[in-house]
């Protein structure tokens, strides 16, 4: 169960080449390509002629040409032409609203008529030269909500990522969870701790000493349908922590776009937007490699957790204070999903 009338990340912009891209999102097999104007287009990956996947075809003059018998599909889901055929009465295929923004391809799996580009999640760090971004994509066999839980409770860093970003103090620092409209914010501040290896490297990347105590912060923000953006960073201790001047700290935003593929699998777009030393592309790549390795440590855990939960569908899980971020996020999702259901008309017999 996932919201459908909302924007999801479907792909990174550089995945769209001169060939069509097939991707299943929210249980729909879609095909993505750029039209003649270079604008991203998303259609059902199903040729109305004989059901061949259009993604095996090619893009000619901005139209998708089926690779089986040459049907030319328009970006509106209506057949444009087919050799020696009149196509007016051909059935349409589903068109999905799609947009390119911030280096990502966004798709609206629900009713395209409702798709307002203004609703695409605003990313303050994208297209901003004071920030640098690097990221990647993982496919994981788990319900998208298990990944939201994961990211809204960073105590797991101590255990899953012990050698990189985990440290005992995460467990020990109190955590605060607030619901702000449809968003959930979970915050944790650690004072006067030693930075773990990943953050030592970040300090060095910003030309700062890495062997002195720091103040560390983690501010996780869930926004529907499944974005988790996490402000993270360290400042030399006593300089103001999260609010310290730029020259005393290294701060970033961990970027997590979690798009359901099926009910039990996701496309996980992860990355880091860095607010220091943005011109250093080598540093961007070093961080990207490091983050990719760290985030890969979650995969087996999430997939095996999913297997365990499927084997025990009736077992209630604990909802501790550390789980509040995930619990509140799921509550918001439930409300949105319910609001998308058709209204049932209840007939009552007169008494």
Interface ranges with its own copies (CB under 8 A)? 29, 45-46, 48-53, 56-57, 65-70, 82-85, 90-91, 149, 153, 155-156, 158-160, 171-172, 174, 300-301, 304-305, 307-309, 311-312, 315, 317-318, 320-323
Q: Quick one: 206 exposed, middle or buried, by C-beta within 10 A (0-12, 13-18, 19+)?
A: buried
Minimum distance, C-beta of residue 265 to its own copies, in the bound complex (Å): 15
Minimum distance, C-beta of residue 94 to its own copies, in the bound complex (Å): 11
Residue 109 backbone phi and psi in degrees, to 5: -70, -15
Under 8 Å between Cβ of 217 and 254:
no
Q: Cβ closer to its own copies: 316 or 343? A: 316
Q: Cβ closer to its own copies: 193 or 202? A: 193
Q: Cβ closer to its own copies: 67 or 292? A: 67
Q: For 239, which DSSP code?
A: S
Q: Cβ closer to its own copies: 66 or 105? A: 66
Minimum distance, C-beta of residue 86 to its own copies, in the bound complex (Å): 9
The CA-based angle 85-87-88, given to 5 degrees, is 145
Question: Three-state DSSP class for 246?
Answer: helix
Minimum distance, C-beta of residue 70 to its own copies, in the bound complex (Å): 5
Q: For 225, which DSSP code?
A: T
H helices present in 250-323, as ranges: 281-311
Under 8 Å between Cβ of 202 and 252:
yes
Minimum distance, C-beta of residue 135 to its own copies, in the bound complex (Å): 24
How far apart CA 85 and CA 72 sit, in angstroms, is 11
Minimum distance, C-beta of residue 306 to its own copies, in the bound complex (Å): 9
Of 218, 219, 164, 230, the closest CA to residue 195 belongs to: 164
Minimum distance, C-beta of residue 309 to its own copies, in the bound complex (Å): 5
Q: Cβ closer to its own copies: 45 or 261? A: 45
H helices present in 51-107, as ranges: none
Angle between helices 144-152 and 324-340 (to 10 degrees): 140
Q: Quick one: 179 exposed, middle or buried, by C-beta within 10 A (0-12, 13-18, 19+)?
A: middle
Minimum distance, C-beta of residue 226 to its own copies, in the bound complex (Å): 18
Pairing of strands 95-101, 8-12: unpaired
Q: Cβ closer to its own copies: 53 or 103? A: 53
Per the document, the length of the chain is 351
Q: Cβ closer to its own copies: 45 or 215? A: 45
Of 197, 188, 186, the closest CA to residue 161 belongs to: 197
Q: Which residue has the tokens 């501790």?
A: 320
Q: For 82, which DSSP code?
A: B
Minimum distance, C-beta of residue 270 to its own copies, in the bound complex (Å): 18
Q: Cβ closer to its own copies: 158 or 286? A: 158
Q: Cβ closer to its own copies: 152 or 203? A: 152
List of E strands, 175-330: 175-180, 183-193, 214-223, 227-236, 249-262, 265-274
């Amino acid at each position: 169960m996932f919201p459908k009338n909302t924007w999801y990340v479907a792909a990174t912009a550089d995945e769209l080449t001169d060939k069509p891209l097939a991707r299943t999102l929210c249980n729909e097999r879609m095909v993505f390509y750029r039209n003649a104007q270079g604008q991203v287009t998303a259609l059902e990956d199903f040729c109305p002629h004989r059901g061949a996947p259009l993604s095996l075809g090619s893009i000619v003059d901005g139209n998708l040409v089926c690779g089986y018998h040459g049907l030319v599909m328009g970006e509106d889901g209506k057949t444009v032409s087919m050799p020696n055929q009149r196509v007016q009465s051909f059935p349409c295929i589903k068109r999905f609203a799609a947009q390119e923004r911030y280096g990502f391809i966004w798709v609206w799996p629900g009713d395209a008529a409702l798709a307002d580009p203004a609703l695409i999640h605003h990313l303050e760090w994208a297209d901003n030269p004071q920030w640098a971004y690097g990221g990647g994509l993982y496919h994981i066999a788990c319900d998208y909500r298990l990944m939201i839980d994961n990211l809204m409770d960073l105590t797991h860093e101590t255990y899953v990522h012990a050698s990189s970003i985990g440290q005992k103090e995460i467990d020990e620092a109190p955590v605060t969870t607030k619901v702000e409209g449809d968003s959930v914010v979970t915050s944790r501040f650690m004072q006067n701790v030693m930075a773990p290896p990943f953050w030592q490297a970040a300090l060095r990347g910003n030309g700062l000493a890495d062997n002195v105590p720091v103040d560390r912060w983690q501010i996780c923000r869930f926004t529907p349908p499944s974005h988790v953006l996490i402000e993270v960073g360290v400042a030399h201790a006593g300089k103001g922590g999260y609010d310290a001047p730029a020259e005393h700290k290294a701060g970033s935003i961990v970027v997590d776009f979690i798009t359901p593929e099926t009910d039990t699998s996701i496309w996980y777009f992860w990355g880091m937007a860095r607010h220091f030393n943005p011109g250093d592309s080598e540093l961007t790549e070093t961080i990207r490699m490091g983050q990719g390795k760290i985030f890969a440590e979650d995969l087996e855990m999430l997939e095996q957790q999913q297997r365990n939960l499927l084997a025990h569908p009736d077992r209630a899980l604990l909802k501790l204070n550390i789980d509040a971020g995930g619990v509140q996020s799921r509550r918001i999702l439930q409300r949105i999903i319910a609001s998308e259901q058709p209204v049932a008309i209840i007939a009552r017999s007169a008494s």
